[in-house]
Structure 1
Amino acid sequence: MSQSQSVPASVREAGAAAPTAAQLLDFVRRIAADTELTSALPLDPEGRTWVRLDGPGGSEAWLIGWPPGTGTGWHDHAESVGAFATAHGALKENSLSVRLPSGGWRSLELDEGVDRRRLLRAGEGRAFGRHHVHEVLNESTAEHAVSVHAYYPPLPLIRRFSRTGPVLRLEQVERPEDWQ
């Protein structure tokens, strides 16, 4: 499924500066406020749905629908900075305030105090830097959530993790061809 959001020519011009996390946050908030666009996303009661959008300055952007009880699992976005905003419903983000090694490990024991939690209701968003490890969840038992996400540079890979107590394990590395 594919849909493009119009990006001003000035942003697409060669030589335009790479968007910052703050600029990505501004973009996802604006798109999340576009009720005509966000309400047009087809919602599936069984699984997440998404459409790709053109983000600012060559960034990658997605409009995502979350059925009740769904989530991403623990993951990071490698070298990309990013932002996301909730358009409808509410999303919970669990994150780690620690930078993981970029490679050479399969299992890490996390220190106490690295866990962060936040609830992002409709209209709320957050930006994050490189190597941000998190999981995003729609904990509602009855309501779909819809959100907008943007990353720059476009995602080179996503590392997926499992977590048992303080132990984080690298389970899989996905490349763009795996999710597009």
Structure 2
Amino acid sequence: MSLSSLPPATGTSAATAAPTQAELLDFVRRAAADAELIASLPLDPEGRTWVRLAGPGGSEAWLIGWPPGTGTGWHDHADSVGAFVTAAGELRENALAARLPTDGWKTLELSDGVDRERRLSVGKGRAFGRHHVHEVLNESTDRHAVSVHAYYPPLPQIRRYSRSGQTLRLEQVERPQDWQ
């Protein structure tokens, strides 16, 4: 089955309300289970690869290949909600269980106990809300990972952070035109 033949997530269509986190998670789970789709992604031994997919209800969706030892760095997806599922290999998500201010800061001191780690093997994933700060990593030394991601609304921006201990620093704000 190709992704274009996947039916929209339950309860969504282009003419209905925005897809929910649960509907995005349902979509990425179904896409990640599509062996033909996952096998179609070209993998590069040096850098991440990606293919844009048609997500449900006007969402933005991606199939992403992760070479061994690669990751995203700390970031958020601004005002978008999202979901992702591992389709091959294993990914680790480090996330902050804290609501951060959305604007007007460059450096924050994080409280103890805000760090969360999830190991996401094949078929495992999660949905997340707006302003979710995380990093995603393929820690394997010899195996690619593949994942499916969906965001709604389509990504208006990504904020990138650096982290040293409990200090989180806003480093860059990227917008869609920066990804062309």
Counterpart position of 1:154? 154
Structure 1 letter corresponding to 2:4: Q
- Per-residue CA deviations over 1:94-135 (Å, capped at 9, x if unaligned) read 000011111111000000000000000011110001110000
Structure 2 letter corresponding to 1:5: S
Identical aligned pairs, as a percentage?
Answer: 75
Structure 2 counterparts to residues 31-110 of structure 1, below 5 A: 31-110=31-110
Q: Give the C-alpha shift of residue 17 in structure 1.
A: 1.2
The 8 Å contact of residues 6 and 54 in structure 1, kept in 2 or not, is answered as: no
Counterpart position of 2:4? 5
* Distance of aligned partners of 1:24 and 1:36 in 2 relative to their CA distance in 1, 3 Å threshold: same
The 8 Å contact of residues 7 and 54 in structure 1, kept in 2 or not, is answered as: no
Find the aligned partners of 2:53 and 2:158 in 1 and give their Cα distance: 19
1:38 is paired with a residue whose SS is helix
Find the aligned partners of 1:120 and 1:78 in 2 and give their Cα distance: 23
* Distance of aligned partners of 1:7 and 1:36 in 2 relative to their CA distance in 1, 3 Å threshold: closer
2:163 is paired with a residue whose SS is strand
1:172 is paired with a residue whose SS is strand
2:177 is paired with a residue whose SS is helix
TM-score by length of 1: 0.94
1:169 is paired with a residue whose SS is strand
The 8 Å contact of residues 3 and 31 in structure 2, kept in 1 or not, is answered as: no
Find the aligned partners of 2:72 and 2:132 in 1 and give their Cα distance: 14
The 8 Å contact of residues 68 and 142 in structure 1, kept in 2 or not, is answered as: yes
RMSD between superposed Cα atoms in Å:
1.6
